Amino acid sequence: MTTNNQADPREAIRSNIDYVQAHIDAYHEVTRTEGADPLTDDQWTDVQSGIDYIAEQHVALARYDRLADAAGQTVDPARGDYTPPTGVNVNRAQDPYDLNTLGFTATRVELVARARTAVDVTRNLDDDAKQSATQLMERHDTPRGDLARHLLGTGNDAYRTGWQKLVAGAGNLMADAERTAVEASRALSLTDAAGGFAVPFTLDPTIISTRSLTTNPVRRIASVRTTVTNEWNGVTSAGMTVSWDGEAAQVSDDSPTLAQPNIPVHKAQGFALGSIEISGDWANIESDLNNMFTEGKDDAEAIAFTTGTGSNQPTGIITALDGSASEIAPATAATFALADGYEVAPELPAKYRLATMDGSVQSSRASWLAARGTYNTVRQFDTGGGAALWETLGGGLPPRLLGHPSYEASAMDSAAAINAGATADNFVLLLGDFRYYLVVDRVGMSVEHIPHIMGANQRPTGQRGWYCYWRVGADSVNDDAFRLMSIPTTA
């Protein structure tokens, strides 16, 4: 708490921020020089430390500003210059969402630092979600800071309340600040041609991780990457093979062979229909839409990540492995038997199955994926509790089989439903290291409000619609990290 004869601590904080920012800017100017070398690891560590420091200091500034505003004015009202307290507000100059203080020339470092501050001071956002959003920006943002700018544009209160009015069909009731925030966000939108209104980042499941809530097992165990373009390009390698050589012998060329996988993102879309009466009475539109988006996205992706065709949708892991060397035949044709589980596990190379933690304890890198009917069949292989058990089974879905975590994928074929009299491929059991199955999210889910739905005679039906869309891709980048039990049958 400061008094009139004490220095305002905010001035010292701003001075420190300016000092650190000047050093970061100096690094940036050096790298912009033609022919300049990239920053060294130590320099990057210095820059990252500076970004962390600036973000922390902006949080401190915001707290001081809120405290000052909450204290109100102490001037005597009789003097005529009294202004009553108006609540806790962040000073405009220190508002992390105020893009006017940055402008279009802001560097990625400035944008990410500002966005981190915005995330830190966001209300109703738990620590895990804040960490997820921060890591997303730091690891995957573009050199221009497009993701950070998108987060700043869609996270402020004016945009959120304006968005609520738009999707409720009350856009004409937007205040000037809300209209300005919405139009500014559309101009900076990461969506195609700014066609829709981006979902606020606190709701957008492509920005805030829903891992703790999702029923989509593949997303939970896969590697997830983020892009702001229409595809993801990476580099993979099978690794380096070293050689044993004699004294003074020339080393062989052991350079690894590199591959560049490409994963395009595809548009998914959904449509919700409701009456004018419902939309007019929809008081909890924000939380309800959040649940709708999350559940609908999970349901669609759970199928696509398993059996997606790769044509206008992600390539599912089963589709990626179908016909590859990773397929394993059953011990007995057209039959799923006890021996098959024991056959799949050793076929997967050890480097994809186990990871040494502290030199003595090993943990699993691989996970099982199967339909519930397959797991139920496994439970019936040994009802007496003898040596034939894959692993001691408890109630419900066994958490581990042969030492590896087990996950249910309802889109997979069920071993309990194999029809030996039909011609079909039955992919019933998958074991693999899902770090090598990549899910690529293109940031920015959008929603558009359709004010009137027309009937067959092109007259209003008294209904309204909400159209949402997002883009995502997925594919295997290393088929050798998986083994798939395929049980073909013929009529």
pLDDT in tens, 363-419: 788 999 999 999 888 888 876 666 676 766 666 677 888 888 899 999 999 999 999
Between 475 and 190, the higher pLDDT residue: 475
Neighbours of 233 (CB within 10 A): 10
pLDDT band at 79 (very low <50, low <70, confident <90, very high): very low
Cα 446-452-454 angle, rounded to 5 deg:
115
What pLDDT, on the 0 to 100 scale, is given for residue 198?
A: 85
Question: Per mean pLDDT, which range of 56-65, 113-122, 384-393, 410-419 is the poorest?
Answer: 384-393
Are 227 and 140 in contact by the 8 Å Cβ rule? The answer is: yes
What pLDDT, on the 0 to 100 scale, is given for residue 157?
A: 84
Residue 191 has pLDDT above 60, yes or no: no
Residue 422 has pLDDT above 50, yes or no: yes
24 φ, ψ (degrees, to nearest 5):
-65, -45
Are 465 and 279 in contact by the 8 Å Cβ rule? The answer is: no
What pLDDT, on the 0 to 100 scale, is given for residue 57?
A: 79
b or e along 350-377 (b: 16 or more beta carbons within 10 Å of the residue's beta carbon)?
A: eebbbeeeeeeeeebbbbbbbbebbbeb
Q: What is the pLDDT of residues 307-352, one digit of tens each?
A: 999 999 999 999 999 999 999 999 888 999 988 888 898 999 988 9
Of residues 476, 473, 44, 491, the one with CA closest to residue 230? 473
Of residues 389, 373, 385, the one with CA closest to residue 336? 373
Between 374 and 204, the higher pLDDT residue: 374
Q: Which residue has the tokens 């560590």?
A: 45
Question: Per mean pLDDT, which range of 33-37, 182-186, 238-242, 257-261 is the poorest?
Answer: 33-37
pLDDT band at 167 (very low <50, low <70, confident <90, very high): confident
Give all domains of the chain, ordered by start, each with its CATH number.
9-78+89-155 (no CATH), 192-235+260-491 (3.90.1690.10)
b or e along 428-448 (b: 16 or more beta carbons within 10 Å of the residue's beta carbon)?
A: bbbbbbbebbbbbbbbbbbbe
